Structure 1
Amino acid sequence: MNDSDEGAGRPAPDGPAAPSRRKDARRNKAALLDAAAAAFVVSGVDAPVRDIAARAGVGVGTIYRHFPTRADLIVAVYRHQVDACAEAGPALLADSASPHTALGRWIDQFVDFLATKHGLAAALHSDDAGFDTLHAYFIDRLVPVCAQLLEAAAVAGEIRPDIDAYELMRGVGNLCIGADSDPRYDPRRLVGLLVAGLRRP
């Protein structure tokens, strides 16, 4: 194949098909991150790359092309899950019967995120510099969403108005500690009682 043939029949990088290609690439990367997250639930953050590739239906090389190191993959999965949780808040508020219902459903998703990141907490406390900003990202993305849900429920008269979003999230997080190592403990039940207790008498 000569140089004149190599680009024949294909649109220029910024041609009409470029936005579609970028959208496909984002969708493929999201699917890969979902597969990695699912593998982490089963095997922790040390899940074999070949298992993640098999879940995603791609070759191992594709994962390394996107994420050259395991730390890169862990960071990307964490940020992807935080983003999904953040984006769920406004969607639940729009789709739920009441703001309190939306808050409860969002807290359930938050608990799922906390309870299924096997090994991630230990990784985040390692010496890898790539993890340094993740806690701040978590706070910056999720606290405002929780605050929005709390405010909507308070304005609707469903809950008391003096509940702090960070304080609530910290309490929920504390209820999730150790859940992955004790099959007899389901934090969702206690968190559900906590959310129910936010209601006005």
Structure 2
Amino acid sequence: MHALLRPYRDALNIQFEMRACEVNVSDQTVVFNNDLTVPYDILISSLPLPQSETLIEFPAAPKNSFLPCIAVGLMMAESNANKYNAFKNVSKDISWMGSSKFFNPALEETWVIQFSPKGSQRLAAEPDQKLIELSLRCLESVTNDKIKVKDSSVFRWKYAQCGRSTQDQMFTKIAHNIFAIGDWHISSRVESAFLSGKTLAEFLSNKRP
């Protein structure tokens, strides 16, 4: 997202890597972690629902389920000779694995190992090294090859796996000028977050003269 917005940073006065700590609905301001206070005309939150509720302090929205999600990235020391570039239903803990060579063979090969919902929940508190070792063992098992890794990263999302909202709407109107968007309105698919934001943009465009 940052890469898409950086070319417009100066023209639109976009600030990156700032954390909103408080929203004052009465005087329409947002306080950030560097003590900067910014007024707003319209406030759109794309945070996961539990974080939006805490920050903006609006009445709890319809009940929704949120579960942790884990993924591991492995950068290969040398390209894998295996003819397959993806595997699914790998184990009870890992849903799928995918190689970067599928979409860009010119780059150094990396593999993304996506943990299953139950695996993510069960292993959420485990240290990074254990998750990396588990991912590497599973990758070696399905490729039937000894793999050398030169770098690795673990990605954790606390609210990534969400159930659908019980409201039949694409976004939430918190106040006349405060809105919440996100995939939790529709489904747990990444595309649903885009559709939620797109619908709100169309709604706001139609409201303006």
Give the alignment's TM-score, normalised by structure 2: 0.24
Q: Which has the higher contact order (CA 8 A, sep 6+)?
A: 2
More strand by share: 2
More helix by share: 1
Give the alignment's TM-score, normalised by structure 1: 0.25
